[in-house]
Structure 1
Amino acid sequence: MLLPNLTTTTTTTHYSGGGAKKAKSVPQRFLSATFADLPAPDWHWEKMPSAPVPRLDGYAIQINNLFYVFAGYGSLDYVHSHVDIFNFSSNTWVERVDMPKDMAHSHLGVATDGRFIYVVSGQYGPQCRGPIARVFVLDTKTKKWNSLPPLPSPRYAPATQLWRGRLHVMGGSKENRHTPGLDHWSLAVKDGEALEKQWRTEIPIPRGGPHRACIVVNDRLLVIGGQEGDFMAKPGSPIFKCSRRLEVVYDDVYMLDDEMKWKVLPPMPKPNSHIECAWVIVNNSIIITGGTTEKHPITKRMMLVGEVFQFNLDSMTWSVIGKLPYRVKTTLAGFWDGWLYFTSGQRDRGPDNPQPRKVIADMWRTKLSLQ
């Protein structure tokens, strides 16, 4: 969520809040790794053509050399209603596709079978408006949209993936935008069509909430990171103005396999959220770029993540393998011909201030070599 302007430092003993207020002295304290940047190698990043628009809480799907970037906030008062397409082979933005008028604009769930992109639920409109239950499908060959049966209940940012012929949707936030949902539903689909008229109830996820990575790899379904709670609409606000609520970011990793029971895997190196499309799979590893971690213990402000994480699926171990050009959340990540790309999101206020500020359209890439 976009935050009002505020100037702080990460580890010093002063902060200022709200322009004219005087700085207050606070006791100096050591910040654990949860609240500080983790040690990581510096990487060389190359600037690529920026996306046609800046976007926060946008979503993305890669199909071969094409990168489909969906919707998102342009600002807290404006949301996008189209898809931008980037060609990794030519390193150019090549096409724009308009979305259906009644499709959500942020906090989506997305998945693909390699041709059809499924777009599930999400928030309709700017600020902190309500979620919808609608489900849409984009045929990437014809650029035509279709609709599927709606979810049993609307959800914000549910974990979404295609697994074993079924579209799985789980977690997210409930209709008030704050309460975590534990529900897990699935729908049989094929070639962009539903094979059933209604969603099937599956085993609930152990911990609910939005803004998680959801990945299918080696015929296993993984759900990584996320948070409980989110901004809510201010009561009585005609524009559904966002107001802050308590959020708890976590490092949890859960997995479903043949037993169809949730298993707990090793946690991330730090709590991390806003990573729905911040991941790629390379050499049997999951690579995650950026995100948000727990609030600063003194200022209580959101802190962005600037590290790149690797989860090795052979050893089931996490490591911190590099740094982004800056801390940034809701990155949209892709991988092509040895290059790791990311675009969009909301970046930090500077090297010494990890709070979110500018919504960006930047795209970067770095040559990725995993050990």
Structure 2
Amino acid sequence: MARFNHNKHHSSTTKLVFLISCAGLLGAALIADFLWASSSSAAPAYLSIASSWALEKSGILVVQNVTHNIAHHKREDVKDRKERIPERFLPATFADLPAPELQWEEMPSAPVPRLDGAAIQIKNLLYVFAGYGTLDYVHSHVDIYNFTSNTWGGRFDMPKEMGHSHLGVVTDGRYIYVVSGQYGPQCRGPTARTFVLDTETKKWRSMLPLPAPRYAPATQLWRGRLHVMGGSKENRHTPGLEHWSIAVKDGKALEKQWRTETPIPRGGPHRACVVVNDQLFVIGGQEGDFMAKPGSPIFKCSRRLEVVYADVYMLDDEKKWKVLPPMPKPNSHIECAWVIVNNSIIITGGTTEKHPVNKRMILVGEVFKFHLDSLTWSVIGKLPFRVKTTLAGFWDGWLYFTSGQRDRGPDNPQPRKVIGDMWRTKLRL
């Protein structure tokens, strides 16, 4: 009996020690888990609820990524961390705007893909100039699209001294004036050179250069003068406010120097510049741009702060700038993305404000209309995808666009592939 009581006491003691050990291990595990959760690698998972609440209160739309919200807070190896896609924080004002669907039809693609090219329409022909093929390769020729036959053809070379991207272009119906621009790939320097193309003979001639080189200046013919405004200065980033003009006729300058005009209220490149009803409009654009990396032998592009805006200005009879209603959203890279239809300016695509977290570019997928009678904006449709630096044309009721850089997919508005695609839709306004 005595032996039995001793075994019973020993068994109870053993159980007690076991329970205390388990409790200790459990406590240690909880402390370790708490410390791990407090580390920088796990913090986003624990802070996502609070972050989402704060962003929603500030008017920012939070698009959660399912793969990021892991149910069990396990450590990830290096490979998992690299493959994980972070949450996308998209400000609601920068998201795609509500718009009706348009029926788009894919047409023959351009002979080459191009980004930051330029285009001019004369009757049923769309002249497409230069542009990047890749960041390391630029085109130095012109392709022509025939809207009547819906075919490409008639390729010819540009002058060797002419810029390859960020050009200012305008036509009087026969002669195309090509002003300044970037010479070479990556983020090389600008040129002040100006050229004129006779579209009937396909002959080029040089013209008086600009007073200073510019990237992507707003360019138009207005009241017998070639006007060049804004753009970026020689470092590719500083906005230019200068406004110059020179009298021209039949592809020739009638003066020996450029005249200084009223500076534009806000400088910068990549804006639409339109003359209609004897009024000159400058629409959208940005301040700042990529710059060449200091010391890079190939002038490698380096990201800088850019501010995209929705501003619209009009030059009146007194040579004073008037501020008009802004675009529905900030928009840039639209210098050749516009056409005139039924007393309205139609603009396709572009770029808007940067992603607020990673500062990546966000592309635009809407078609905008500025009605000149009421001076009001509306969104009249969606493009087949988001795209910047489109080259637009309008013929026989059809709105066309080609080239540019498109998005990464329906759920990712960041730029990816440079394209030569041509699309059209029947436009009914």
TM-score by length of 1: 0.94
Query: What is the aligned counterpart of 2:226 among 160, 167, 176?
Result: 167
Counterpart amino acid of 2:370? F
- Aligned partners of 2:143 and 2:204: how far apart in 1? 15
Give the direction of change, closer, same or farther, for the CA distance of 1:176–1:47 in structure 2 (3 Å limit). same
Give unpaired runs (5+ residues) of structure 2: 1-60, 69-78
Are positions 1:336 and 2:387 aligned together? no
Per the alignment, residue 32 of structure 1 pairs with 92
TM-superposed CA distance for 1:30, in Å, is 6.9
Of residues 191, 203, 220, the one that matches 1:132 is 191
Q: Cα RMSD over matched residues?
A: 1.7
Corresponding residue of 1:4: none
TM-superposed CA distance for 1:12, in Å, is 2.2
* CA–CA separation in structure 1 for the residues paired with 2:98 and 2:201: 46
2:147 is matched with 88
Pairwise mapping of residues 63-102 of structure 1 onto structure 2 (< 5 A)?
Answer: 63-102=122-161
Q: In percent, how many aligned pairs have the same letter? A: 82
In the TM superposition, 1:21-60 aligns within 5 A as 21=82, 23=84, 31-33=91-93, 35-60=94-119
8 Å Cα contact 2:368/2:380 also seen in 1: yes
* Conserved? CA contact 2:348–2:383, under 8 Å: yes
Residue 250 of structure 2 corresponds to 191
Which residue of the partner structure matches residue 179 of structure 1? 238
| Per-residue Cα deviation, 1:217-254 (whole angstroms, up to 9, x for no partner) | 00000000000000000000000000000000000000
Give 1:37's aligned amino acid. Answer: D
For 2:388, the aligned partner's letter is K
Alignment of 1:1-371 (within 5 A): 11-14=62-65, 21=82, 23=84, 31-33=91-93, 35-370=94-429
Specify the code of the residue in structure 1 equivalent to 2:338: W
Alignment CA distance shift 1:24-1:220 (3 Å): same
Residue aligned with 2:91, SS: coil
Deviations 1:132-185 (A, max 9, x none): 000000000000001110000000000000000100000000000000000000
Structure 1, unaligned runs of 5 or more: 1-9
Amino acid at match of 2:427: L
CA distance in 2, matches of 1:221, 1:67: 22
More strand by share: 1
Deviations 1:100-150 (A, max 9, x none): 000000000000000000000000000000000000000000000011100
Structure showing greater Rg: 2
Distance 1:365 1:11 in 2: 33
Q: Distance in 1 between matches of 2:271 and 2:302?
A: 22
TM-aligned CA distance change 1:19 to 1:364, over 3 Å: farther
* AA at the equivalent of 2:357: I
CA distance in 1, matches of 2:198, 2:86: 57
Instruction: Name the one with the larger helix percent.
Output: 2
CA distance in 2, matches of 1:109, 1:153: 14
Aligned-pair CA distance for 1:20: 6.3
Structure 1 position 257, deviation (Å)? 1.8
Paired with 1:182 and 1:174, the residues of 2 have a C-alpha distance of: 9
Question: For the Cα contact (< 8 Å) 1:214–1:224, is it kept in 2?
Answer: yes
Q: Which amino acid aligns with 2:138?
A: V
- Per-residue CA distance 1:287-321 (angstroms, 9 max, x = gap): 00000000111222100000000000011000000
Q: Distance in 2 between matches of 1:343 and 1:198?
A: 36
CA separation in 2, counterparts of 1:157 and 1:30? Answer: 28
Matched position secondary structure for 1:155: coil
> 3-state DSSP class of the match of 1:85?
strand
Looking at structure 2, the residues matched to 80 and 11 of structure 1 have their Cα atoms a distance apart, in angstroms, of 40
CA contact (8 A) 2:112 2:420 kept: yes
Aligned mates of 2:317, 2:241 — CA distance in 1: 21
1:219/1:257 contact within 8 Å kept: no
**C-alpha contact 2:179 2:194 (8 A) present in aligned 1:** yes
Give the Cα–Cα distance (whole angstroms) in 2 for the partners of residues 141 and 244 of structure 1. 41
What amino acid is aligned across from residue 183 of structure 2 in structure 1?
A: Y
- Shift in alpha-carbon separation, 1:19–1:177, aligned structure 2, 3 A: farther
Query: 2:43 maps to what in 1?
Result: none
How many Å separate the matches in 1 of 2:80 and 2:293? 23
Distance in 1, Cα, partners of 2:64 & 2:290: 28
**Structure-2 separation of matches of 1:51 and 1:177:** 28
Distance in 1 between the 2:223 and 2:172 partners?
A: 11
Deviation at 1:24, TM superposition (A): 7.2
Partner letter of residue 257 of structure 2? Q
Q: How many residues align?
A: 358
* Aligned amino acid, residue 123 of structure 1: Q
Cα distance change, pair 70–351 in 1 and its aligned pair in 2 (3 A): same
Contact 2:174–2:199 under 8 Å retained in 1? yes
Counterpart-to-counterpart distance in 2, 1:113 and 1:105: 22
Partner secondary structure for residue 133 of structure 1: coil
